[in-house]
Amino acid sequence: MEPTVPSPAAKQPAETSPVKESLAPDRGLQTGDHLTSGQGVRLPDTDHSLKAGPRGPALMEDFHLREKITHFDHERIPERVVHARGSGAYGTFTAYGNAASVTKAGFLAEKGRETEVFVRFSTVLGSRGSADTVRDVRGFAVKFYTAEGNFDLVGNNMPVFFIQDAIKFPDIIHAAKWHPDREIPQAQTAHDTFWDFVSLHTEATHHVFWAMSDRGIPRSFRTMEGFGVHTFRLVDAAGKTSLVKFHWKPAAGVHSQVWEETRLTAGMDPDFHRRDLADSIDAGLFYEYELGIQVMPDDAGESFEGIDLLDPTKIVPEELAPVQPIGKLVLNRNPDDFHAETEQIAFHIGNLVPGIEVTNDPLLQGRLFSYLDTQLSRLGGPNFTQLPVNRPHAPVNDNLRDGMHQSVVHRGIAPYLPNSLAGSEGAVPAGPENGGYVHLPEPVQGEKVRANPVSFADHHTQAALFYRSLSPLEQEHVAEAFTFELSKCYEQAIRVRMLGVLANVDADLTAKVAAGLGLPAPEGTPVADVTPSPALAQITDRSWPVTGRVVGVIGTPDRDAAALQKALKAQGVVVRVIAPVGGEGVERTFQTARSVEFDAIMVAEATADLQMMVLLQEAFRHGKAIGVRGKGEQTLINAGIDVKAPGILFDPDPETIVAALGRHRVWERMPLLKPRASSAGS
């Protein structure tokens, strides 16, 4: 007789009991262990806990499997319709105190007061998985967790917007995003529907010029300005009001990629901006900005120097109303959980504190509805303010009950006003005497119509002001951007129509773009002389701090490289050694390094490696300083680089490198790289 063979289930050892064997403190969690929520017990490997019987596997009895898979199936929430691609960080805002002259908002008015903030940077058009470095508007949204409640300054890196009325917002976004039949192109405006809309809708002209400038392709979030876009009303302690525009000025200066860089970066590292933000904070190289305000009288006309302050397509030149710094922002802490914090943060332009009010800007008024409304579907109901990243740091008793995802356990039986039953735990509207928000009374008169004032009708003057304020090289970049984008349109009629719009701004620009498209330049009515605003130009002679800049050193690590790295690190510069192969002290190899991640290159030894030739040629074209020491000169010669060109630094000391980095690029070299037409007979 054959001996009886135990079944696999009978072989299961007794010590795998799911409830009796606690995890040993020195053992840790091992493969095959499963933990239920809130329990520190060892559970059997799923492969052995349930076995096939005569009727098949009893999978649905495995509640561990069901809970895990169910949660996995519901991990995603709807992404934002706009600004879906974003990244963020916590920081501290410190008030200078001088804003007390215009506002009673404590976080601005009290000198030295520190307020925690969360900042989210984003692109407007792309989906969550799109690239960071596309040409686009960047969101610059700041949530201040003030002692009076949350204040959200939800702005962009451009001070104007495409439209003047919120009812047109769905139209501009639908036109700018992908074509609905194919959902391409992703995260770009170089296509027919965008240029069809803006060529027909000329109030977008000023913003289009900003988007086609270098502002549309920032080097990093560290080197990007931020703007509140709209005009706000500030109220001081005595009740006096002023109209203001908010500005964020980066300590590192305003700096952008060149067009070739942004295309390369999108391919080699689509997380380029997100990575720089997180890595810089981890390294202690914090992002810094100053918050400033332009202050203008609050008179009945709500205008300043002939500029309608309620028109979001207009700026007030800084030469007319200087930006007054009122506080400093330092981003110094990365989120612990991207989804819980960066993705679930909910900004609302209606999150206001006493001393700050909105105006009747028609686009701003529409945003007051839209920001709140979008959270209801994206975050699953009205209680999104209870999420930790959205929760005010001030005490709140709002009398709001129930609803999806309610996590507060309320007390009392009287969730209504007025009542006599709630006692001390009841919600009582706060008046101005105890810090409550009370809207400033203001007279209202006039007819209720859907129409824009006459002051909204000029769509070209400020576009010309912006263009003519730029340096010649920046103007070339604008012309190249228009040419590239319009060349991607299939419909010739759209190109012709947009040239007609440009012809009413600047004749020289129109001629350059028309020549690039192979079309005749139309005659228009270009704007007459305007007074340029030097504050609008990015390329200047000014030198900026170099914290967070990156220098690549080509060569095997040696004593000189270590000394250079130490000296530059003291200035906040990151040095990365690039060598043929990896090893101790090597951060990039010849196969992984590209010019786009470096602000300058040091060549320490001779090499003829093809990948290094490409890196150096790119760095040269992109106007980056190239330092040479030892046998590095031969490497430049191998790459076909003119060693006498501007920005080639021989045996530079750290101070020379820092000076070059502080100017962002070797601007003197850039015009030399432009192709020239051959002379006749040559």
Q: Which residues are annotated as a binding site?
A: 80, 120, 169, 367, 371, 378
What is the identity of the amino acid at 440?
L
* Separation of alpha carbons 175 and 504, rounded Å: 23
Give the dihedral sign, CA 501/219/120/543. negative
* Separation of alpha carbons 452 and 220, rounded Å: 37
83 is a catalytic site residue: yes
Q: How far is CA 586 from CA 399, 572, 575, 626, in A?
A: 59, 19, 10, 19
What is the identity of the amino acid at 273?
H
* Separation of alpha carbons 143 and 346, rounded Å: 9
Q: Which of 34, 48, 64, 83 is catalytic?
A: 83
Query: What residues form the annotated binding site for heme?
Result: 80, 120, 169, 367, 371, 378
Q: In 3D, which of 261, 132, 136 has the Cα closest to residue 189?
A: 136
The answer to whether the peptide bond before residue 418 is cis (omega within 30 degrees of 0) is: yes
**CB-CB neighbours of 534 under 10 Å:** 12
Instruction: State the virtual CA torsion across 317, 318, 321, 322 in degrees, nearest 10.
Output: 180
**Residue 85 pairs with which residues in a beta bridge?**
123
Relative to beta strand 149-156, strand 232-235 is unpaired
Instruction: State the virtual CA torsion across 107, 109, 111, 114 in degrees, nearest 10.
Output: 10
3-state SS class at 120: strand
The answer to whether the peptide bond before residue 185 is cis (omega within 30 degrees of 0) is: yes
Relative to beta strand 625-628, strand 226-227 is unpaired
* Separation of alpha carbons 9 and 57, rounded Å: 13
Strands (E), 210-262: 226-227, 232-235, 241-250
Cβ(361)–Cβ(312) under 8 Å?
yes
DSSP 8-state symbol, 554: E
Tokens coding 657:
């490198």
390 is a catalytic site residue: no
Tokens coding 235:
């109220």
**Residue 91 pairs with which residues in a beta bridge?**
117, 331
Cβ(199)–Cβ(489) under 8 Å?
no
**Residue 22 pairs with which residues in a beta bridge?**
41
* Separation of alpha carbons 511 and 502, rounded Å: 9
Residue whose pair of structure tokens reads 């759209």 in the numeric block:
494
Q: In 3D, which of 584, 525, 526 has the Cα closest to residue 558?
A: 584
Q: Which of 150, 156, 351, 504 is catalytic?
A: 156
Q: How far is CA 588 from CA 322, 619, 620, 639, in A?
A: 44, 16, 19, 19
Catalytic positions, written as ranges: 83, 156
